[in-house]
């Protein structure tokens, strides 16, 4: 059994990066709380600061360096404070940062954290750190990682180097975690993976009769145990069939692996949200080839046509990189053209920055920062128009909204919350502001939309 430390021992957790990093931080918090640490935002009282970093973009790494510099000043005043670093870390960043913190470790070694802190010997019960119990930051929405790592090696991306190759969690483990969350009252389950579409898991002890292949494989066994391989569409269907009142969605999908089977599963699901995040990255075939994305613009557009036909009310978001090495104005214009054609609900636009170790780092970064910024602005202007068009269909409609924030959460709002707004999400992942302070967190309420903007909706409680 781990040695529990005094409850007065405090920790503070700082997270950079994507939803996967946020999910990892929930598991870090789970480990620390289990061995007796308690969270605090008062840095003057803190004993341990954990930074969960991201090496995917240089800007995020720069923020980590800056944060560590600020925290070094804190350590002068608070000598007992220790700083540890984990997360998505490139080797070059690891070597630069290891002497600036008290401890640095791979996120996959999270089960060993108690022994790394020299509090107790770790039995390292879990081969995969994703098996650890998380401490969820929200009471309404829960991230559930189904896999980690990536096999795609996109030319600009460090994930295969920081997280390694793909590892899928066993389906039973995922399903049991979701059953627990639903029992606890979570209304939104978000499945996570660098490429959820390539999930390859196994499922045991199913009630369905074995196939002929399974019978032959197990013919020598007296007690027939069925274990069969399942893909992401199978997993999604199994979760969708679980009892309980919850919404189900997932991020992130890769276009080259988005099958007709998955589209059919999404369209027939009772709990699956009509929302898809499908990164396109560029609207030019030559750039997509240089990025090693494995599909063409035509492939992508065909997928969108198929899924919109099956799910007419689908909300669609994407990622786009501007200024990839060698991107000409004509190639950029192809991306702008694609954005106009597809009319995304949301686009997350990033200016390309080289990451050492990736294939693209060997290309000349020959698009100036000024030009990248200009291209980002042009795409943002297109997005504003298409997002407004997409949101306009909600005007005067009544939708179900899951309440995720209300002004009562913030004690500083006391005495002035009459004019504050609650925030929530629709089934299509639209953010809704509701002029009310009486709505409870994690409740689903009907809201009439009275105002729209490119980044969200505004409504009143439907009577």
- Secondary structure (H, E, C), 167-197: EECCHHHHHHHHHHHHHCCCCEEEEECCCHH
Exposed, middle or buried by CB within 10 Å (0-12, 13-18, 19+), for 330?
Answer: exposed
> What pLDDT score does 437 carry?
74
For CA atoms 439, 445, 450, 452, give the dihedral sign: positive
Which residues is 51 bridged to in the sheet? Answer: 14, 85
pLDDT of residue 281 exceeding 80, the answer is yes
Please compute, for residue 153, the number of CA atoms within 13 A of its CA located in the half-sphere on the CB side.
5
pLDDT of residue 127 exceeding 80, the answer is no
Radius of gyration of the chain (CA): 24
> What pLDDT score does 57 carry?
78
Please compute, for residue 286, the number of CA atoms within 13 A of its CA located in the half-sphere on the CB side.
11
For CA atoms 45, 47, 52, 57, give the dihedral sign: positive
Interval 137-161: pLDDT, tens: 999 999 999 999 999 999 999 999 9
**Assigned token pair, 288:** 């997509």
**Continuous segment of H or E residues that includes residue 124:** none
CATH of range 398-461; options 2.40.50, 3.40.50, 2.60.40, 3.30.43: 2.40.50
| Angle separating helix axes 171-183 and 232-240, nearest 10 degrees | 30
Interval 166-176: pLDDT, tens: 999 999 999 99
* CATH number attached to the domain at 275-392: 3.30.750.200
Q: Do domains 275-392 and 398-461 have the same CATH topology?
A: no
Residue spans of the domains in the chain: they are: 10-129, 138-210+224-273, 275-392, 398-461
Interval 21-34: pLDDT, tens: 999 999 999 999 99
C-alpha span between 82 and 66 (Å, rounded): 17
C-alpha span between 163 and 88 (Å, rounded): 6
Closest CA to 144 of 117, 181, 114, 111: 181
> What pLDDT score does 60 carry?
82
- Counting residues of the chain whose pLDDT is more than 70, the rounded percentage is 89
Expressed in angstroms, the distance from the first to the final Cα of the chain is 54
Give the least confident one: 77-86, 217-226, 251-260, 364-373.
217-226
C-alpha span between 281 and 303 (Å, rounded): 15
CATH of range 10-129; options 3.40.50.720, 3.40.50.970, 3.40.50.12160, 3.30.450.20: 3.40.50.12160
Interval 425-442: pLDDT, tens: 999 999 999 988 778 999
CATH 3.30.750.210, applies to 138-210+224-273: yes
pLDDT of residue 417 exceeding 50, the answer is no
């Amino acid at each position: 059994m781990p040695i529990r430390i005094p409850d007065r021992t405090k920790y503070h957790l700082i997270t950079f990066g994507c939803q996967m990093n946020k999910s990892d931080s929930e598991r870090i918090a789970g480990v620390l709380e289990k061995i007796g640490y308690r969270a605090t935002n008062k840095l003057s009282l803190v004993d341990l600061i954990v930074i969960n970093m991201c090496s995917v973009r240089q800007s995020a790494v720069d923020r980590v360096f800056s944060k560590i510099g600020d925290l070094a000043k804190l350590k002068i005043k608070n000598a007992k404070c220790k700083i540890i670093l984990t997360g998505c870390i490139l080797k070059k960043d690891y070597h630069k940062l290891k002497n600036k913190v008290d401890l640095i470790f791979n996120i996959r070694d999270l089960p060993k954290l108690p022994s790394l802190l020299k509090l107790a010997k770790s039995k390292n019960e879990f081969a995969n750190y994703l098996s650890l119990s998380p401490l969820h930051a929200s009471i309404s929405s829960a991230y559930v990682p189904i896999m980690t790592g990536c096999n795609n090696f996109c030319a600009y991306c460090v994930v295969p180097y920081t997280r390694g190759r793909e590892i899928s969690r066993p389906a039973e483990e995922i399903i049991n975690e979701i059953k627990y969350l639903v029992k606890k009252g979570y209304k939104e389950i978000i499945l996570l993976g660098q490429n959820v579409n390539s999930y390859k898991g196994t499922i045991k002890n199913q009630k369905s009769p074995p196939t002929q292949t399974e019978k032959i494989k197990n013919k020598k066994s007296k007690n027939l145990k069925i274990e069969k391989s399942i893909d992401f569409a199978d997993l999604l269907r199994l979760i969708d069939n679980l009892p309980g009142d919850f919404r189900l969605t997932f991020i992130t999908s890769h276009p080259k692996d988005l099958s007709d089977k998955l589209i059919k599963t999404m369209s027939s699901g009772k709990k699956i949200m009509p929302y898809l995040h499908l990164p396109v990255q560029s609207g030019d075939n030559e750039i997509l080839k240089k990025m090693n994305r494995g599909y063409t613009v035509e492939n992508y557009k065909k997928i969108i046509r198929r899924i919109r036909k099956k799910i007419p009310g689908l909300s669609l978001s994407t990622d786009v990189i501007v200024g990839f090495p060698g991107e000409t104005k004509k190639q950029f214009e192809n991306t702008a053209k694609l954005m106009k054609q597809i009319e995304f609900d949301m686009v997350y636009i990033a200016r390309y920055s080289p990451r050492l170790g990736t294939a693209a780092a060997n290309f000349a970064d020959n698009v100036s920062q000024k030009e990248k910024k200009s291209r980002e602005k042009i795409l943002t202007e297109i997005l504003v128009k298409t997002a407004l068009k997409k949101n306009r269909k909600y005007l005067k409609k009544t939708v179900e909204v899951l309440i995720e924030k209300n002004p009562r959460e913030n004690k500083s709002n006391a005495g002035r919350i009459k004019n504050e707004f609650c925030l929530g999400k629709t089934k299509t992942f639209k953010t809704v502001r509701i002029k009310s302070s009486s709505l409870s967190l994690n409740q689903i309420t009907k809201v009439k939309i009275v105002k729209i903007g490119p980044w969200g909706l505004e409504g009143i409680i439907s009577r």
